[in-house]
Structure 1
């Protein structure tokens, strides 16, 4: 029979495990001292071979009786009478082998805690403290109110002035919106007709030719508001003749309702060319 002792070490802290190991070592030393005093040391169990003992009861050999009590084919010896239970021999029980003391297990040496990297100290942040604002005096409040009132009045005046400005629209030969393009073509046709009927005498006499650009501003009723030169022809006679022809052809047709609803001043910018042969054309 084999005996196996298993020592389960619970999960203890380092101090508790060390204390328990010291107590266990002390008990084992006392056990060894008392065992040596009573009997010799027994070699470790793992060095002894295991033996299986089998007890066999052998029949005793008895001498033949001198006088047979019965006749038989062969000689036989009478069986001995069965012994009582108390008289039957019992095999001696072997002494149990003492369990060798377990070898003490070296406790793991706790490792020193590795140095923990310290986080850099936070940078000092500048704390802005607001100084208490001084309560303005009554005179200061009054002056501020007056300044705000003047500013508000100036803004309102600017807005009113802007809103009171005439709504102006500029058109030219590149204008494609139908209502403006149609009005401009009729206006150019009238200027050309009047100009060719009243071609300037100075241009005819000096055989002058040239090209100029005029910007003519018209009011909603078709009257002329202003005439400005965008580009001169280089001849005063031709420039003066162009302005005279535009004024001679006025007044022009009033603005249609769809133009009047969104335009107060209509600027027509066109190129006028005095050609050889005493002819005026608008482009």
Structure 2
């Protein structure tokens, strides 16, 4: 192979590639020598290390501080003793056990001193001699016979009193016979009871009249409630009396119920099983329900 041609300016001076390599190696050697010979290492002496001491408790206090202390403590203490080496102060007594936890100890409270109780003083009592009384025997009194005489009965007066009592008894019997026979029906009556059929017809009539004459004020104010009435009817069907046994708590409803019963009279006269009854009493509960409806139970 042909070697590359040199530029004309280099070929004139006669510089070869080998010369350039040698010059480069020379410069590298000079630089390395300068670095090796110019850099030096020196040993720095270590700084003085502070002396450390252990901490302990001194057993006594000295006026002067020791020149060379072996331990640190709360007070100055001059070393003494027979030991060759340093030793920390310690007590001459040795504990029977070792424990790392500090435990609080509460001393027991001393018992309260007992106070001597004084013996109760004996009380000396004296009794005065009692006076002896002599019993005096009382003379026994004999019962005397009653000197009152037996009453004398007058036969005429006695017969007159008996006749008066008989007349009074006859009058009371006549009054009792004239008393009306009253039969009471309540809500527990059934169709097999005496007068139950009459009560059922009477209820239907009162409910019909009540729904036709429902109180307007109760309808407007929407007042509802229930009450218990007692209605007494004569033999001919006329109304004897009507009264409120248990109020509804609304005077408006109580008065409306009384008015409805009076408007329903007169009722049918008694017949059949009720022909021997002078007065019939009916007790029922009346309800003014929602929907402006009157019903009985």
TM-score using structure 1 length: 0.49
Q: Which has the higher contact order (CA 8 A, sep 6+)?
A: 1
TM-score of the superposed pair, with normalisation by structure 2? 0.47
